[in-house]
């Protein structure tokens, strides 16, 4: 019974992903997703209580493995801080600036002021990433690998540096696909600046 329920949930996520991509979040409806599936609204609402909840599941379910892999670079036992931060940075930018993830992020930004979607996605993405990164930096500060500072602010500075060469182009939709070589160079520059500010004396 549980396997059948999970199969049905996965079918809903796949159909919803198609509908959101074709129609955008605002024009997509639960009715359209039901029609695509051949399910009743009662069945759909049994799994997801709102369109916002369903979109969040679609957006983050597909990238959760990559998200966790990115966070795994934040190993508190690491000796080389520069390498650890570069590994994290490459993973983060590769994830955030993949074409399909860019499309989802734009939908979230466009809808954020009209519903609870922005708050939900903020908690699932940036808040989780910031907490993990701040904890890692705090540990590095305690062990003398970074200078003492507010770890949360440092995590925000690092994130801003990592995205500094891409964010405006992303927001104004002038960003083409970013190559692995470009990401590597951007991350090296960002981490060098971060270490210049936060590296041990």
pLDDT digits (tens, 9 = 90+) for 132-144: 999 999 999 999 9
In the numeric block, the tokens 């939709």 are attached to: 173
Q: List the domain range (segments joined by +) for residue 149.
A: 63-198
Domain count of the chain? 2
Q: Which residue has the higher pLDDT, 17 or 191?
A: 191
| Residues 122 and 175 placed together within one structural domain of the fold | yes
| Residues 37 and 120 placed together within one structural domain of the fold | no
The sign of the torsion formed by the CA atoms of 129, 134, 139, 144 equals: positive
pLDDT digits (tens, 9 = 90+) for 14-40: 999 899 889 988 889 999 999 999 999
pLDDT digits (tens, 9 = 90+) for 90-122: 999 999 999 988 988 888 888 887 878 888 888
Residue 56 lies in a domain: no
Which pLDDT value is given to residue 1?
Answer: 52
| Residues 92 and 190 placed together within one structural domain of the fold | yes
pTM, to two decimals = 0.84
Residue 57 lies in a domain: no
Residue 104 lies in a domain: yes
Please choose, from the candidates 108, 130, 129, the residue with its C-alpha nearest in 3D space to the C-alpha of residue 119: 108
Q: Give the integer Cα–Cα distance in Å for 52 and 48.
A: 9
Residue 15 lies in a domain: yes
């Amino acid at each position: 019974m549980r396997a059948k329920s999970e199969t049905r949930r996965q079918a809903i996520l796949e159909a919803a992903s198609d509908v959101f991509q074709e129609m955008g979040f605002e024009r997509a409806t639960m009715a359209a997703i039901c029609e695509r599936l051949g399910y009743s609204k009662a069945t759909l609402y049994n799994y997801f209580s709102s369109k916002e909840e369903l979109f969040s599941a679609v957006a983050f379910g597909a990238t959760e493995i990559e998200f966790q892999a990115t966070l795994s670079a934040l190993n508190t036992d690491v000796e080389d801080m520069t390498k650890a931060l570069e590994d994290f940075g490459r993973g983060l930018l590769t994830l955030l600036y993949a074409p399909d993830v860019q499309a989802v992020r734009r939908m979230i930004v466009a809808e954020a002021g009209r519903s609870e979607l922005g708050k939900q996605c903020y908690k699932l993405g940036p808040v989780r990433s910031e907490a993990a990164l701040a904890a890692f930096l705090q540990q590095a500060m305690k062990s003398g690998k970074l200078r003492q500072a507010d770890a949360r602010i440092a995590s925000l500075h690092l994130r801003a540096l990592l995205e500094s060469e891409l964010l405006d182009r992303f927001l104004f939709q002038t960003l083409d696909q970013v190559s692995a070589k470009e990401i590597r160079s951007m991350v090296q520059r960002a981490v060098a600046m971060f270490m210049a500010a936060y590296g041990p004396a």
